[in-house]
Amino acid sequence: MHEDQVNELMRTLAPQVLGVLVRRGADFATAEDAVQEALIEAAHHWPDSPPDEPKAWLLKVAGRKLIDAQRAEAARRRREERVHDEPPPGPTEQSDDTLLLLSRCCHPSLSPASAIALTLRAVGGLTTAQIARAFLVPEATMAQRISRAKRTITGERFDTPGDVRAVLHVLYLIFNEGFTGEISLADEAIRLTRQLTAASATDPEIAGLLALMLLHHARREARYTASNELVPLDQQDRSLWDTSMIGEGVAVLQGALGRDLLGQYQAQAAIAALHDDAPSAEETDWPQILEWYDELVRLTDSPVVALNRAVAVGQVDGPRAGLAVLAGIDPGLARWDAVAAHLYERAGDVALAIEHYRTAADRATSLPERTHLIKQVARLVVEARSRGR
């Protein structure tokens, strides 16, 4: 078996095997260690002698490792017998395990960073080294973060499936990490959310989140230039948008909205769908977008939503109306000055626009964003100069 095949297979199977062990009652942290040890053996043996049934092989080895670990603790002997005695799983159980594992990895007692790392490893099947590279931290740091997370949830009870909303929040955060490197975290988040959609249809917000991710990810090729500069939505080359992904996102969203149980992810996805639907920036249906923002403001008290709503008001009722709404929002928000600058520019107040773009650049939270805002200053200064001549 080729090394790449082995890696791919291990990646797919590891979370499944972990799910089986956990469902049979094994302690999450101990089971995760057992699966990691089994993977090390698989990486050693499979290239030369591939097993006929890789999943059964992994399950057997991981089960043995688990028992080894549990023997060391007499108190766990009861559970050991239970794990040992149960018959092998049928194929239908696998999907239930996804929600089971995710609810453990996204337990509310974990910090977001810990939940993200644990989810990517235990459910996403990524190696610690891959996760470390994706977040630009040393591997030892990431290994420590993961083992601390496992220790944190060891004492927690998991009698009922965890809060689906907590899981969705972690998946949303993974999607928004957006580093591009060897591992695309956006793709990982979509993959995991897809799995969750297949596993559980209890909450239409699951499909809402998947739709939101697809409808945003469809624009990825247009969002940055070759030199990694930010391209705002109204200037993107819409021919680069992934129309089949948009189609899928819209279909998923419609299915969710049909359940008539609105939530913030569905509302955000609806806004993204309206943007994706416009053949050009000028043809954007801003009145309908504003209606969705009004809905969103009712669903969440997020100040970022309020800030984006001010932009929509500016598009529908004019920049002065947008500025009036902005005046009621906390100017301490990172993107407040960028929105103010945009609205002042549209209102024809170049001097104030320049001032706010400058402040916004100094307050930017990423380098592409900072460069983009500095360029807005540069553009307005050049325009003002040529008009002055």
Partner 1 sequence: MAKYLLLKHYRHNGPKPVPGTEAMMDQWTPEEITAHIDYMGRFAEKLAERGEFVSEGALSPEGTFVRYDGEGRPPVTDGPFAETKDLIAGFMIIDVESQERAYEAAAELSAAPGQGGRPIYEWLEVRPFFAELQGTTE
Residue 75 identity: A
The tally of CA atoms less than 13 A away on the side-chain side of residue 25 is 13
The token pair that represents 110 in the structure block: 């974990």
Nearer residue to partner 1 within complex by CB, 189 or 353: 353
Angle at which helices 164-177 and 185-199 pack, to 10 degrees?
A: 160
Nearer residue to partner 1 within complex by CB, 144 or 359: 359
Nearer residue to partner 1 within complex by CB, 252 or 361: 361
CA 28 to chain centroid: 23
Strands (E), 121-173: none
Nearer residue to partner 1 within complex by CB, 109 or 179: 179
Nearer residue to partner 1 within complex by CB, 229 or 277: 229
CB of 181 to partner 1, least distance (A): 13
- The 3-state DSSP class for residue 369 equals helix
CB of 109 to partner 1, least distance (A): 25
CB of 236 to partner 1, least distance (A): 17
Distance (Å, whole) CA 342 – CA 73: 63
Angle at 252 between CA 247 and CA 258, to 5 degrees: 125
CB of 41 to partner 1, least distance (A): 34
Nearer residue to partner 1 within complex by CB, 82 or 379: 379
CB of 382 to partner 1, least distance (A): 6
Q: Which residues lie below 8 Å from residue 261, measured CB to CB, with a gap of 6+?
A: 203, 204, 205
Residue with tokens 């964003």, as numbered in its chain: 369
Nearer residue to partner 1 within complex by CB, 88 or 181: 181
Length of the chain: 389
Distance (Å, whole) CA 281 – CA 275: 8
Residue with tokens 């009722």, as numbered in its chain: 317
Nearer residue to partner 1 within complex by CB, 316 or 380: 380
229 within 8 A of 371, measured Cβ to Cβ: yes
CB of 373 to partner 1, least distance (A): 9
Nearer residue to partner 1 within complex by CB, 148 or 375: 375
CB of 331 to partner 1, least distance (A): 14
357, 364, 363, 356: which is closest to 378 by C-alpha?
357
CB of 187 to partner 1, least distance (A): 23
CB of 131 to partner 1, least distance (A): 18
For partner 1, the binding residues (CB under 8 A) are 225, 227-229, 358, 361-365, 367, 370-371, 374-375, 377-379, 381-382
256 within 8 A of 200, measured Cβ to Cβ: no
Residue 285's CB is within 10 A of a number of other CB atoms, namely 12
CA of 241: how far to CAs of 230, 299, 332, in Å? 15, 29, 33
Residue with tokens 């309206």, as numbered in its chain: 274
The token pair that represents 133 in the structure block: 């590279």
